[in-house]
Amino acid sequence: MIKVALPPQLRRFVRRNADPGCRRRPGIFAVLAGLFLALALPSGAQAQAPVDAEALRVPWTDSAGLGFVSDAGEVRSFAADLARMIAGEAGLALRFERYDTPGQLIEAIGDGRSDLAFIADLPPLRARNLALAPVAEVQLLLYVRQSEPAEVTLAGMGGRRIGVMQGTAGARLALPEGARRVVFDDQIVAFAQLLAGRVDGVLMAHTFAERTLRLSGISGLVRPVFPPAQVVVQHLLLNRDRAALAPRIEAALTRLEASGAMTDLRTRWSMVPPVPIPEVLTVGVQPFPPYQVVRPDGSVTGFSVETLKALAARSDLKLRFKVVTPEDWLRGPRPGSFDLLPARSITREEIQWMQFSLPVQTIEYAVFVPAARAGLGLDPGRMRIGILATSPIRSEVARDLGRALLPVADAAAGVEALRSGRLDAVIFPAVSFEDYLSGRGEAGQVHRLAAPVFRGELAIAMRAGLGDLKARLNVVIPGFLGSLEYQTLVRRWFDDPPFWTRARVHGALAMGGALALLGALAFLAQTWRARRQEARLRAETTAVSDRLAAILASTRQAIFGFDSAGGIAVTNPSGRQLLSLPEGAVPRRWPPRAVFLDPLSAEALPPGEDPLDRLSRDVLLRGAVYLFRADPGAEPHYVRVSIDRVTDPHSALAHVLILEDDDENELTRQKLIRAQRLSSMGLLTGGLAHDFNNILATILYNAQLARLTAEGPGATVLDRIIASVEQGSALTRRLLGFARRRAQAGGAVRLADSLREVEALAAPAIGAALRLEVALPEEDLFLGCDGGELENALLNLVLNARDAIQQAGQGDRIRIAVRCRDLDAGDGAGQPRPMAEIAVSDNGPGMTEEVRRRAADPFFSTKVASGGSGLGLAMVESFVTRAAGRFLIYSEPGEGTTVRLCLPRVSAEGGALAPVPPDAVPLGRGARILLVEDNAELREPMADLLRDIGYVVETAPSAVVARARLEAGRLPDLVLSDIVLPGGLSGVALAQEVRRRHPGLPIVLITGFAEYDAAQVQALAVPVLSKPCPLPELARAIRGALRARGRGPLL
């Protein structure tokens, strides 16, 4: 989530260092907000290798960045790219230094702990820094709903509500007369309130707003208003101790500006002034037959071009086409150049630069070699391989092959490189390259290898800032892909032309007339030719049908064709899989077990609102959202439904129904709702706490006044009143903390004392039927958090476990355990910190995945009948987050639940403990591991990590599969297994069988639960690790188990 509000550290720094006049300049706060644009980097940044003392220190933060980590593992952002460009031009070395928050980063710049930064020339920073040349501008724009009149302006917003971000230029900007300013600290919440109609506009920096709207999927609902309300300039800041480098740096920046590199960098990162959406959109075209074809007269056609024209006609868009250079094509759509590309491969890195519509076609890249090498196959380790230079998938293919690829300008250059021997193989789009070879009679000189290197989806690519264009295209694409017009385009551009063209038929008839004297002979010849033509046309029809079937089979959308009687006459594989339909006779009726539900209530739809009812009444749909459940016991999921009418009079079909999975968009919507609820709850609790504090203060002051003169029993009563008021004050402090209006107080909490207090409070509450086991830690273990909130959180978790056990009638034990661990901040990029993990576990009924995923959502509760508020786990998660810790939930139905609170350890005086140096990771040296884990999202990354440190890893999704492989004689050097597994065979049971059948085979168990049969595990004498397990700890456990059993190479 991108945060624009000024954090407390930043506000304190400005107040401490700014001269009195600074506070009267609203521009300074706009530049402070603009700092996020220049310095925020993604949390995936890796620690840099040590460099010499002369390296320039470049500060960065992982808070709300506009960057990302590329497939090659390189940190990418405007600031990182610019720093590397300047360092390359000036011959300088860099050292990136990470700070937790933007406020800490600004303090580092002001205190002289950085050498090169990208920020505005602020007076508080001038004492230790020199302002060099300007590098970019940021515009403050008004954003309104799409439904607002086109002529709306900021000056015309008098009397209306305008949202601004706290501490930014909008918070100080003079508004029209009568306008009401509504302050937010989160731009997601601000846009959610705009869409809900609680504000009429939002003032925000365009770079923040554009990326927030695009990545949250609501760019089509909001638009900017021009001209901008304010413009802020950003500069390079150089530490005065490095002032001698200023000429070199400014000369390097001048060369970068002159070469156009700076213009390209600003454009790529949207650090340029936004432009209004044009009435006529410009489409960039590069010759790429048969997808894009440039005719001799300069006009354009091709499959992708004609597809875009048809979609534009359905969406009421105006287009003009422009032939662009290969370099411009590779850069993609940009303001001032062109707005769209007809088709572009969708890759993870491309999504960071531009928007994509729904996929409109697929593309296959193939490997071509000289005919003489046809039987040798592909050997990436030894062959020199080239790839089309303008291909956006170059980096992905290179990564898959494990080697660098040489760029090839076009198909002609590729053929010449193969013929001359400069390259052993080239990778090109299969259809385009084969058409080129056939057109020049060179098909016999080049051979295509059987297996494709890459098969992906093509979509219409759009530059940022085009409003609802993506939504308009996505509405019509599903129906168009099932239309006769699309099928005609496929046949036109990808099928071989028929032999019997109209001209040839006329010629044959003319020849027949000229040979009338040979009528009998001509009749026989014509009959023979007609039969031959019939066979040819039948074969061609079959080929077209096969190609269309391949297209329908490859799409992820479920497509159903209905006849006039309402039966399913045809469906693609995705549709059959969705409804579990066998391949057999048609038509068949829609199965009654598969139903559409209301997307909000998940209840049955009213009569006439069901998509099947609409289809029977010939009512069309365009991307309507429903909940769909294929079977009564299945979880419903969100789908987008489109219904189109088939107008071909010769077709047996009457309607086409298309279902598309919409769960990803629904996830974004739920995030917006969660942000609104958190904001509303924060305002509510903050207001209540404020008013409650006033009441408590009145009681406290009067009681203390009366206590001065009171004696005897009256004094005792007053002491109890004062103590009760202090307890109420502690409650309001926790409420303010949850509302994010008060940070947690510092200090050191002795964990053993807190656990004793929790045990004393919880034991009477859970009753004699349940056992509460508390494993007390060492007395010298201190945590850096609020002690009252810690005890409240643990008591909340114990009572939740009690309620779950009593409600289900399953389980008899609740356990609190503590262990010390060294963990990073949670993103895998930071240095490990000393932490204490408190695990609250039960052996109760556990949770389903749906309940576990929503357990910490505000207002979500499984105890509605007993009055559950849905705030308990939300407050626990808020407490852990504010204490700079981690909050984790592990649960399986029938296996119990474990909630882990990871909190920072401190000294007895409250000071931070020294960071833990990273441990050396023992290498695997080729040892073979069988990894047994049912969660694919965890199994594959864990296997990749083990492979990276030298192990040969084979995976199994269950203990049953693992046992079958062991019985087949495929023995590894070690078995690494989860404890809780599906299929009736647990990890402990698998370990017992391994011990019985293969006593010399080492075993390591890993689990996310604190509850398991300890006696059985102790009898097996195997190590048990807890999830999440850091890689050094996992590697040491594996190495120790291998050495103990004398297994593995060189172990």
Q: In CATH terms, is domain 749-906 a member of 3.30.110.40?
A: no
User: Which CATH topology does 928-1045 take?
Assistant: Rossmann fold (3.40.50)
Distances (CA, A) of 46 to 56, 95, 96, 98, 459: 17, 12, 10, 10, 33
* C-beta of residue 1006 within 8 angstroms of C-beta of residue 1020: no
Q: Within a 10 A sphere around the Cβ of 160, how many other Cβ atoms?
A: 16
556-661: which CATH architecture? 2-Layer Sandwich (3.30)
Edge-to-edge strand ranges of the sheet holding 952-956: 952-956, 928-932, 974-978, 1003-1007, 1024-1026
What is the per-residue pLDDT for 648? 83
* C-beta of residue 356 within 8 angstroms of C-beta of residue 296: no
Which of the two residues, 909 and 33, has the higher pLDDT score? 909
- Token reading at 379: 């050997």
Distance CA 394, CA 405 (A): 8
Distance CA 109, CA 58 (A): 10
Q: Is the dihedral of CA 152, 158, 159, 160 positive or negative?
A: positive
What is the per-residue pLDDT for 199? 93
Virtual CA dihedral for 794, 796, 802, 803, nearest 10 degrees? -160
Closest to 679 measured CA to CA, from 193, 331, 105: 193
* C-beta of residue 528 within 8 angstroms of C-beta of residue 536: no
Q: Within a 10 A sphere around the Cβ of 756, how many other Cβ atoms?
A: 13
pLDDT-derived band at 10 (thresholds 50, 70, 90) equals very low
pLDDT-derived band at 167 (thresholds 50, 70, 90) equals low
Closest to 283 measured CA to CA, from 304, 268, 297: 304
Query: Mapping DSSP to helix (H, G, I), strand (E, B) and coil, where does residue 928 land?
Result: strand
Which of the two residues, 544 and 354, has the higher pLDDT score? 354
Strand bridging mode 68-69 / 75-76: antiparallel
Q: In the chain, what is the straight-line distance between the N-terminal and C-terminal CA atoms, in Å? A: 46
Which tens digit of pLDDT belongs to each residue from 707-766? 778 888 888 888 888 888 777 776 666 565 555 444 455 578 899 998 998 888 788 888
Residue 120: which H helix or E strand, with range?
none
- Token reading at 947: 């492979």
- Token reading at 376: 């040798």
Distances (CA, A) of 697 to 382, 606, 685, 704: 80, 55, 18, 10
- Token reading at 840: 């609250």
- Token reading at 1014: 């300890």
What is the per-residue pLDDT for 245? 92
Distance CA 887, CA 916 (A): 21
* Region for 267 from its dihedrals, namely left if φ exceeds 0, alpha if ψ lies in -120 to 50, beta otherwise: alpha
Distances (CA, A) of 446 to 352, 419, 513: 37, 9, 45
* C-beta of residue 941 within 8 angstroms of C-beta of residue 917: no
Domains 362-454 and 749-906 share a fold: no
The CATH class of the 362-454 domain is: alpha beta
What is the per-residue pLDDT for 47? 34
* C-beta of residue 778 within 8 angstroms of C-beta of residue 720: no
Which amino acid is residue 664, in one-letter code?
E
Within 13 A of 418's CA, how many CA atoms are on the CB side?
A: 28
Respond yes or no on whether the N-terminal peptide bond of residue 587 is cis (omega within 30° of 0).
yes
Query: Mapping DSSP to helix (H, G, I), strand (E, B) and coil, where does residue 975 land?
Result: strand
pLDDT-derived band at 52 (thresholds 50, 70, 90) equals very low
Percent of the chain with pLDDT over 70: 78
Q: How far is CA 677 from the centre of its chain?
A: 22
- Token reading at 349: 């890195």
Closest to 801 measured CA to CA, from 737, 690, 889: 889
Residue 1025 neighbours by CB under 8 Å, 6+ apart: 1004, 1005, 1006, 1007, 1033, 1034, 1037
The per-type count for the chain, helices as H runs and strands as E runs, is: 32, 40
Distance CA 194, CA 203 (A): 11
User: Which CATH topology does 280-359+463-493 take?
Assistant: D-Maltodextrin-Binding Protein; domain 2 (3.40.190)
pLDDT-derived band at 1010 (thresholds 50, 70, 90) equals low
| pLDDT exceeds cutoff 90 at 636 | no
What is the per-residue pLDDT for 281? 92
pLDDT-derived band at 833 (thresholds 50, 70, 90) equals confident
| pLDDT exceeds cutoff 80 at 1047 | no
Closest to 238 measured CA to CA, from 226, 256, 250: 250
Residues 960-969 have a mean pLDDT of: 90
| pLDDT exceeds cutoff 70 at 496 | no
Which tens digit of pLDDT belongs to each residue from 754-802? 899 888 878 888 888 888 999 999 988 999 888 878 888 898 899 888 9
- What b-and-e string marks burial along 362-397, b requiring 16 or more CB atoms within 10 Å of the CB? ebebbbbbbeebeeeebeeeebebbbbbbbbbbbbb
- Token reading at 627: 């909940």
Residues 219-248 have a mean pLDDT of: 87
Residue 277: which H helix or E strand, with range?
none
234 - beta bridge partners?
136
| pLDDT exceeds cutoff 80 at 997 | yes
* C-beta of residue 693 within 8 angstroms of C-beta of residue 729: yes
DSSP type of residue 517? G
Please give the angle made by the CA atoms of 247, 251 and 255, to the nearest 5 degrees.
Answer: 175
Strands, E assignment, 615-701:
621-629, 637-645, 655-661
Which tens digit of pLDDT belongs to each residue from 503-540? 554 555 666 566 556 667 666 777 777 777 777 777 77
Average pLDDT, the chain: 79
| pLDDT exceeds cutoff 70 at 286 | yes
Closest to 783 measured CA to CA, from 833, 828, 841: 833
Distance CA 183, CA 171 (A): 7
Distance CA 286, CA 390 (A): 10
Q: DSSP string spanning 216-251?
A: HT-GGGEEEEEEEEEEEEEEEEEEGGGGGGHHHHHH
Distances (CA, A) of 371 to 415, 429, 445, 449, 468: 12, 18, 5, 10, 50
Percent of the chain with pLDDT over 90: 19
Distances (CA, A) of 456 to 72, 384, 403, 452: 20, 24, 20, 11
Residue 40 neighbours by CB under 8 Å, 6+ apart: 60, 61, 62, 63, 64, 65, 66, 67, 77, 79, 102
Q: Within a 10 A sphere around the Cβ of 44, how many other Cβ atoms?
A: 17
Residues 370-394 have a mean pLDDT of: 83
What is the per-residue pLDDT for 818? 92
User: Which CATH topology does 8-268 take?
Assistant: D-Maltodextrin-Binding Protein; domain 2 (3.40.190)
Domain-wise residue ranges, the chain: 8-268, 280-359+463-493, 362-454, 498-549, 556-661, 674-732, 749-906, 928-1045
Closest to 831 measured CA to CA, from 97, 130, 95, 8: 97
> Residues in the chain, how many?
1051
Q: Is the dihedral of CA 705, 708, 709, 713 positive or negative?
A: positive
Which amino acid is residue 884, in one-letter code?
A
Which tens digit of pLDDT belongs to each residue from 860-905? 666 654 545 556 787 888 888 888 888 889 888 888 899 999 999 9
Residues 818-841 have a mean pLDDT of: 75
* Region for 127 from its dihedrals, namely left if φ exceeds 0, alpha if ψ lies in -120 to 50, beta otherwise: alpha
What is the per-residue pLDDT for 69? 64
| pLDDT exceeds cutoff 80 at 670 | no
pLDDT-derived band at 1002 (thresholds 50, 70, 90) equals very high
Q: Quickly tell me which residue has 């073979």 as its tokens.
A: 928
Which tens digit of pLDDT belongs to each residue from 697-706? 678 767 777 8
Q: Within a 10 A sphere around the Cβ of 731, how many other Cβ atoms?
A: 14
Residues 798-817 have a mean pLDDT of: 89
What is the per-residue pLDDT for 838? 93
Which amino acid is residue 808, in one-letter code?
A
- Token reading at 1020: 């097996």
Within 13 A of 176's CA, how many CA atoms are on the CB side?
A: 16
pLDDT-derived band at 150 (thresholds 50, 70, 90) equals confident
pLDDT-derived band at 954 (thresholds 50, 70, 90) equals very high
Q: Helix, strand, coil shares of the chain as percentages rounded to 5?
A: 40, 25, 35
Phi, psi values for residue 166, rounded to 5°: -60, 130
Q: Quickly tell me which residue has 């600074």 as its tokens.
A: 22
- Token reading at 374: 């046809």
Which tens digit of pLDDT belongs to each residue from 638-652? 899 999 998 888 788
Residues 608-628 have a mean pLDDT of: 89
Distance CA 727, CA 187 (A): 36
Distance CA 896, CA 6 (A): 42
Which tens digit of pLDDT belongs to each residue from 175-233? 999 999 998 877 788 888 898 889 999 998 887 787 777 766 677 788 888 888 888 78
